[in-house]
Structure 1
């Protein structure tokens, strides 16, 4: 939540029309918001609501509009018409971001993503180098690592418990099983084994901050190091796992605010 001296940002909800269906979006706008807004990209099981207090606080402390949206198939957005394509990370920058920006009146922006959403933020920065003013990744993967696959296998086992699927359904409704399978079956597919962000990273032209927990169960420090190499700073957060913005919200917000103050 905003600190004592900061007024809460004004919230608004939006429906974004795309060729495949409607996307649910939400924005948080401080009274005196300035500079480029921040677009948030959620993780493989994420949604607008699962960002919890982070967008509101990020908006208030950076004095920027913050926009989060549910990707097609997630949260309150329309159901996905089929399976995720193997290029789904790059496809989000191609298919999701243009209608979002057009319909919300966004010209320049900061791309900020968590986990696979960090990869989507990288792809967006690469695809729109003249519009993306800065890039922030939080616990992002840059390639397929055995630690990532092991974590997904463990999670897949945990989701054999119907109670865990039911908890996921609180955020995704009857799309919960699709959301889960889209994550586990895509990443564990042999056809996805050679995926990397290398080509997109080579096209990034803006300043980069790559945040990563030192106890991240889904990826080693090799990921932020590769993302930031020659482009910005990689920062390991102490005593932190795969969801830094919930585990260490103050630390993450402070790091992003200080980074953006220098952009």
Structure 2
């Protein structure tokens, strides 16, 4: 695959870090949407592997407040994922010149992908892949987010994240952690977007996911009009593309074909 390298896109006056990998221009671009603590660099070599396996072009980007993108003001609004899906992602696709896309989202990024595909802005989406998605708040998720807060304060987690987020490290962590642990966030729910997702969906979930259960898979499978293909992976936590990369790449490749 032809490496197109790192770049910055101006999206509504905000500079967003991006990385593009070339592929067959006749195929839709795979747009990667990272998790709540993710960034371009935290995808590691997954974008390269995805491009090699599928032959599709790939675009990864760091949302505002993450990686080397512009920072954001905190606290984040509690509907930040809905805003990312309905408002920011369409502008990003415009700035990148993309009119045919497949969304590949992980965790928070999976939620953003579902919001976008289930909104009036999602007309360019041909398929959706979601890994460890959230559609509503589960107690197991809040327990793990509280544990992440303790780790950030009392372990080397901040130092490890700083390698990827630099000056955005505190912005990335607290923007995510404080939002999910806000008292009103327990009511956060995007299941209302699912009946309008009119494209094929693949849901990938680890059976040992510490942030969510099979209930997330069932919610999607039961609500999207065409149902959803599912892949439940044993010995797999919240990051299927890192815990079981071979199975994830094979499933995505087959789904796209």
Determine helix, strand or coil for the equivalent of 2:73. Answer: coil
Corresponding position of 1:21? 14
Aligned to 1:103, which of 95, 110, 117? Answer: 95
Gaps of 5+ in 2: none
Corresponding position of 2:220? 227
How big is the alpha-carbon RMSD for the aligned residues of Structure 1 and Structure 2? 1.4
Corresponding position of 1:112? 104
Corresponding position of 2:118? 126
User: How many residues align structurally?
Assistant: 253
- TM-score normalised per structure 2: 0.94
Gaps of 5+ in 1: 1-7
Mapped to 2, the partners of 1:34 and 1:54 lie a distance apart of: 22
Q: How does 1:47-62 map onto structure 2 within 5 Å?
A: 47-62=39-54
What do residues 125-152 of structure 1 show as CA deviations (whole Å, max 9, x unaligned)? 1123431101110011111000000111
Mapped to 1, the partners of 2:2 and 2:219 lie a distance apart of: 34
Is 1:86 aligned to 2:78, yes or no? yes
Determine helix, strand or coil for the equivalent of 2:118. Answer: helix
Which segments of structure 1 move beyond 3 Å, counting only runs of 4 or more?
none
Corresponding position of 1:41? 33
1:20 positional shift: 4.9
1:99 positional shift: 2.5
Q: How does 1:181-220 map onto structure 2 within 5 Å?
A: 181-220=174-213
Mapped to 2, the partners of 1:240 and 1:221 lie a distance apart of: 13
